[in-house]
Amino acid sequence: MADDNAAQKTLALISHDGKKADMVAFVIEHKAVLSRYNLVGTGTTGKMISDKTGLVVRRMLSGPVGGDAQIAAMVAEGKIEAVFFFVDPLGKHPHDPDIQGLLRICNVHNVPLATNAATAEYIISAQAL
């Protein structure tokens, strides 16, 4: 479970189209823990999570039009403690440079990055945040 200071921490939730159902299922399963965090997401993913779970998600632009870059900037500014980006490894993504930029920024700033549900679950269950 998350620590007592979780309400002050922010998690980013992003998913490719082929993984949006997985992201929503993950959030539903871990809603009690995730409700203690400030959540931010790209446009469509954030809307789906809000609609399906009732959680408040601050929505950035959609990924293909700059949402990934907006979240990368927040990571660089130290405003995000972890990024859960459920990646579809078999899909083509026209905004791949933005995706790669976000992944790079997470690595540069040593921010936990989960690209699938198993890793995200490990991060929140290990009290890493």
Active-site residue set: 68
DSSP labels, 1-43: ---TTGGG-EEEEEE-GGGHHHHHHHHHHTHHHHTTSEEEE-H
Give the DSSP per-residue string, 55-106. Answer: --EEE---GGGTHHHHHHHHHHTT--SEEEEE--TTS--TTHHHHHHHHHHH
- DSSP SS3 for 86: strand
How far apart, in whole angstroms, are the C-alpha atoms of residue 87 and residue 99?
10
